[in-house]
């Protein structure tokens, strides 16, 4: 069952007549699934791609290898390009890209610990780049990421 904020976000997107698409690395499709379970999913959900592995980022979403090497797969820079590429693929009004670290074994450092999530969201009026560090199990981090995404979208489109 989607959280209240995801339900509210879905309704807000539908009220604008807009749609949404996702490029998900750290959330591995869970965000698309949560939005798919809302009342308004048929009106708003354009689609999504899981780009968990670098191969998909490079070969499907055309992220230059040099960018991934320079910034790591879990970075603001890569997340922004993922959003731009997914927006072209899905021709969506709102595009969300997520990368980050939900468990050890990625590019974590002292400055970028496990729980660090990078968001890049495009709407017709705004481009939102956000970084946040969540705590908990991998699932808790993913669910917090989904709710934060919904909040960022609501905050952006409610003023329009």
Cα–Cα distance, 78 to 58 (Å, whole number): 10
User: How much is the pLDDT for 159?
Assistant: 73
Instruction: Please give the pLDDT value at position 160.
Output: 65
Give the pLDDT confidence score for residue 74 in this predicted structure.
Answer: 96
pTM of the model: 0.96
Q: How far apart are CA 97 and CA 63, in angstroms?
A: 13
Q: Are 47 and 15 in contact (CB under 8 A)?
A: no
Burial of 104 (0-12, 13-18, 19+ CB in 10 A): exposed
Profile the chain (160 residues) by mean pLDDT over runs of 10 residues.
Answer: 97 98 98 98 98 97 97 97 98 98 91 97 96 98 98 90
Give me the pLDDT at residue 22, please. 98
| CATH superfamily, region 4-157 | CinA-like (3.90.950.20)
Q: What is the pLDDT of residue 89?
A: 97
- In angstroms, rounded to a whole number, what is the distance separating the alpha carbons of residues 149 and 147? 5
Per the CB < 8 A criterion, the answer to whether 115 and 134 are in contact is yes
Give the chain's length: 160
| Cα distance between residue 53 and residue 74, in whole Å | 11
pLDDT value at residue 105: 86
Report how far apart, in Å, the C-alpha atoms of 49 and of each of 65, 82, 85, 144 are. 19, 10, 11, 20
pLDDT value of residue 106: 83
Instruction: Map out the domains of the chain as residue ranges.
Output: 4-157
In a 3-state reduction of DSSP, which class is residue 111? coil
């Amino acid at each position: 069952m989607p959280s209240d904020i995801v339900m509210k976000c879905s309704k807000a997107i539908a009220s604008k007549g807009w749609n949404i698409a996702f490029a998900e690395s750290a959330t591995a499709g869970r965000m698309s699934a949560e939005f798919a379970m809302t009342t308004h999913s048929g009106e708003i959900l354009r689609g999504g791609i899981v780009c968990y592995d670098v191969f998909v980022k490079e070969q499907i979403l055309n992220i230059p290898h040099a960018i991934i090497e320079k910034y790591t797969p879990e970075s603001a820079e890569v997340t922004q390009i993922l959003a731009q590429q997914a927006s072209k693929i899905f021709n969506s009004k709102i595009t969300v890209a997520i990368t980050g670290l939900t468990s050890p074994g990625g590019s974590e450092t002292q400055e970028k610990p496990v729980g660090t999530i990078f968001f890049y969201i495009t709407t017709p009026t705004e481009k939102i780049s956000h970084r946040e560090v969540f705590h908990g199990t991998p699932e808790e981090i993913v669910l917090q990421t989904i709710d934060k995404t919904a909040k960022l979208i609501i905050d952006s489109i409610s003023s329009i």
